[in-house]
């Protein structure tokens, strides 16, 4: 469960239109959010990661994705914008060199590309349910977006509904389905309620991100990442299936894969104790 501290939506600083957050104390660690609205502080998934890292006696530095809550900037540069925000967040918190970092899902993809493009800023990285690009997770066996997945038809119908009615209601309906299918233990899935007014509200966050991600493929550049990596994947992850993590580990120069056998896309919620034991052990090695 998230602590009261992690639930706070008051930024540590607002720099160049970027809302920067800092939680806890100790050696700093960057929590790279996803580039969509689901990477925002206050979301129960993000808060769970913050809480776990704070419990490891880390000062967690993160920021709001573009077009989310207090972050006013809405530049169309997608990945480059996220990298710039990460640097702004670290600098504004007095962290100017290499730092440990963790990213989950799309946040993991952002972290991986940040480590490749800005290697001097990433010391070690924890990549949870992530991949080297959109083509990897969209085409992988077992992925929700693969036409062979048993839920692909339902996903396609929701996608068509979003095209007909591009509003908050259809966005929430799609997100709820993806989240439900992303847990092995469906009882842990929390759905956002869809109410009448949502049919008349605009969609939130970066609604074009999946289209942008589909054009990304960093698999050929994985060897450029100098930072040691802990790659974590749930055995039943339908967003970034296990073969996607295996591809990353094969390509990275210094990476270790840990598979969580009773988890989907959220091993830190389904196998919480073991997850933080594994992450804590990795971060404790040669820690300053």
**218-258 per-position pLDDT tens digit:** 999 999 999 999 999 999 999 999 999 999 999 999 999 99
pLDDT: which is higher, 15 or 210:
15
Q: Evaluate whether residue 279 is within a structural domain.
A: yes
Q: For the sheet with 18-23, list strands across it.
A: 13-15, 18-23, 58-63, 27-32, 99-104, 122-128, 229-234, 255-260
Give Cα 154 distance to the centre of its chain. Answer: 24
Q: Evaluate whether residue 204 is within a structural domain.
A: no
The pLDDT of residue 212 is 72
The pLDDT of residue 276 is 98
140 — pLDDT class (breaks 50, 70, 90) = confident
Average pLDDT score over the chain = 88
Predicted TM-score (pTM) above 0.75: yes
Q: What residue numbers bound the domain in which 33 lies?
A: 4-143+217-284
pLDDT: which is higher, 202 or 58:
58
Q: Is the pLDDT of residue 287 over 70?
A: no
CATH number at residue 33: 3.40.50.1820
Q: Evaluate whether residue 46 is within a structural domain.
A: yes
Q: Evaluate whether residue 187 is within a structural domain.
A: no
Q: Evaluate whether residue 273 is within a structural domain.
A: yes
Q: Evaluate whether residue 163 is within a structural domain.
A: no
Q: Evaluate whether residue 60 is within a structural domain.
A: yes
How far is it, in rounded angstroms, from Cα 61 to Cα 253? 26
71 — pLDDT class (breaks 50, 70, 90) = very low
Is 23 within 8 Å of 93 (Cβ atoms)?
A: no
Average pLDDT (185-213) is: 84
Helices (H), ranges, the chain:
4-7, 44-55, 79-92, 106-117, 134-139, 152-164, 168-181, 209-213, 242-251, 267-270, 272-284
- Which residue in 97, 84, 71 sits closest to 32, CA to CA? 84
108 — pLDDT class (breaks 50, 70, 90) = very high
How far is it, in rounded angstroms, from Cα 13 to Cα 22? 9
Q: Is the pLDDT of residue 4 over 70?
A: no
The pLDDT of residue 66 is 76
- Which residue in 20, 12, 27, 16 sits closest to 86, CA to CA? 20
Looking at residue 193, what DSSP letter applies?
Answer: P
Tell me the CA distances in angstroms from 44 to 85, 175, 188, 195, one per residue in order.
22, 14, 11, 20
Report the share of the chain in percent with pLDDT over 70: 89
Q: Evaluate whether residue 183 is within a structural domain.
A: no
Count of domains in the chain?
1
288 — pLDDT class (breaks 50, 70, 90) = low
């Amino acid at each position: 469960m998230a602590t009261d501290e992690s639930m706070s939506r008051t930024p540590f600083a607002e720099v160049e239109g970027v809302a920067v957050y800092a939680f806890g104390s100790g050696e700093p660690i960057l929590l790279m959010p996803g580039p969509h609205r689901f990477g925002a502080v206050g979301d129960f998934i993000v808060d769970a990661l913050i809480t776990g890292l704070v419990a490891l006696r880390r000062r967690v530095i993160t920021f709001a994705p573009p077009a989310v809550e207090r972050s006013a900037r809405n530049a169309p540069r997608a990945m480059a914008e996220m990298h710039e925000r990460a640097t702004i967040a670290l600098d504004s918190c007095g962290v100017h060199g290499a730092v440990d970092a963790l990213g989950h899902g799309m946040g993991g993809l952002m972290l991986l590309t940040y480590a490749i493009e800005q290697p001097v800023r990433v010391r070690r990285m924890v990549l949870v349910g992530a991949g080297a690009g959109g083509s990897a997770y969209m085409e992988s066996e077992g992925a929700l977006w693969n036409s062979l997945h048993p839920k692909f038809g339902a996903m396609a119908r929701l996608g068509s509904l979003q095209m007909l009615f591009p509003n908050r209601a259809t966005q929430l309906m799609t997100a709820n389905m993806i989240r439900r299918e992303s847990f092995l233990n469906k009882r842990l899935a929390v759905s956002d309620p869809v109410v009448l007014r949502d049919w008349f509200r605009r969609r939130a966050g970066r609604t074009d991100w999946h289209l942008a991600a589909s054009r990304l493929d960093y698999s050929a550049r994985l060897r450029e990442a100098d930072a040691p990596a802990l790659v974590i994947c749930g055995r039943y992850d339908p967003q970034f299936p296990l073969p996607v993590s295996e591809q990353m580990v094969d390509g990275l120069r210094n990476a270790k894969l840990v598979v969580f056998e009773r988890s989907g896309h959220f091993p830190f919620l389904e196998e919480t104790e073991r997850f933080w034991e594994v992450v804590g052990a990795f971060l404790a090695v040669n820690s300053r």
